[in-house]
Amino acid sequence: MAFTFDTDLPPEIYPFAWLLGTWRGYGILTYGDTVPEQAVYQEMVFDHDGGPYMRQTTTIWTVDATRSENLDFEMPGLEGASRLARAQVWSTETCYWRPVGQQQPDADDADPRTPVTSLELVSTDPAGHVAVWEGWIQGPRAQVGTQAVGRTRTSAEVREMTRMFGLVGGDLMWTQDLAAFGNQELSTYASGRLGRVEDPQSGAGSTPGA
């Protein structure tokens, strides 16, 4: 699917241009004995309001196995999403990405011609967590990790998070590791494969029975 560059973008967020839009797909949640491995339906929306930053809104749903079709985890994101019936919202999050500087990559970098943009992010979720992240974006890939995670008195303990994003074959691939629920070390928590939705209001990429 062709990507149309928004000519009204602030120059500061040009490095994010490939992310802008609505993405839907499928993925896996798992976290030791705390979260049994399960398929999930995902949506990420990246947008901007003209300021020098980008907003990301992420929603993950559990899946109704009785109304879903078999899933091949090698299939494109939108095709996989179309086979899943959403059940309940598992999590939501709003995150703001802000560029804070650029530097030229090292000569032995995998992509020595594309500048590396440093990032600062702030995220919040209704489960009672606020996080400050730092990282970088270079071409169609980004990596971020938390520098601080705050939580309300009654929320689950979350110590640290890392995320990676990449554009592979036109799909947005992402992973998240987590140190939480008393665990000190980072472990796999979530991953996903999402396809860009050309018209989010058309129902493209919607789930059967959703």
The pLDDT tens digits of the residues spanning 142-172 come to 999 999 999 999 999 999 999 999 999 999 9
Q: Assign 202 a pLDDT band (cuts: 50, 70, 90).
A: low
Residue 204 has pLDDT above 50, yes or no: no
* % of the chain beyond a pLDDT of 70: 90
Return the pLDDT at 72. 87
> Whole-model pTM?
0.89
Q: Which helix (H) or strand (E) holds 135?
A: strand 129-138
Contact yes or no for 144/133 (Cβ under 8 A): yes
Q: What is the distance between the alpha carbons of residues 143 and 118, in angstroms, rounded to a whole number?
A: 10
Longest dimension (CA), the chain: 53
Place of tokens 């095709």: 79
For the chain, the domains span 11-196
| Domain 11-196 CATH (choose: 2.40.128.20, 2.102.10.10, 3.40.50.620, 3.30.70.660) | 2.40.128.20
Q: Assign 104 a pLDDT band (cuts: 50, 70, 90).
A: confident
* % of the chain beyond a pLDDT of 90: 77
What spatial distance separates the first Cα and last Cα of the chain, rounded to whole Å? Answer: 25
Tally Cβ neighbours within 10 Å of residue 100: 10
